[in-house]
Structure 1
Amino acid sequence: MFAIYLSACLLRDPSVCREFKIDSGDDSSSMACLMQAPLQFGFWAKEHPGWQIARWRCGASSENKI
């Protein structure tokens, strides 16, 4: 299973950044993760106003380090 790992920073203070993990919720492939990521960013942004995604990647959901 894959997850989207992203780093986002506060719009009002770009020096404040956090790491987030979005689980795919199914047994998707790495290609499916890459294709679904932009859609997931839209949902994530609505739930996290004031944050801007700085970078992201797909990885195994079992990874402990974001």
Structure 2
Amino acid sequence: MVTLVLTICLHSAPEKCREERFQLGDQVTLTQCMSRSVIYVAQWSEQHPAFRVTKWRCELPKVEQGV
């Protein structure tokens, strides 16, 4: 499952930033996430006008390795 990770900051306090994570589903590949991320970011930004997206990335699940 691919995760879209947004780094967002308040417009009123640009030093206050945090990450928001969105699971994109089992059918979305890393390549699809990267190519569609601009659309997701634009939609999120429109719905959250108090925040500014400063960067974003797509992540694959971390695989834990046994010892």
Q: Give the shorter-chain TM-score range.
A: 0.7 to 0.9
Matches within 5 A, 1:32-51: 32-51=32-51
Distance 1:7 1:38 in 2: 14
What SS does structure 1 have at the residue aligned with 2:12?
A: coil
Deviations 1:4-51 (A, max 9, x none): 101110111101111101221342111101011000011111221111
Distance 1:20 1:59 in 2: 13
Q: CA RMSD in A?
A: 1.8
Deviation at 1:62, TM superposition (A): 6.4
Matches within 5 A, 1:1-66: 1-60=1-60
Amino acid aligned to 1:2: V
Larger Cα-atom Rg: 2
- Are the aligned partners of 1:7 and 1:17 in contact in 2 as well (CA < 8 Å)? yes
Gaps of 5+ in 1: none
- Identity score, percent: 27
TM-score by length of 1: 0.81
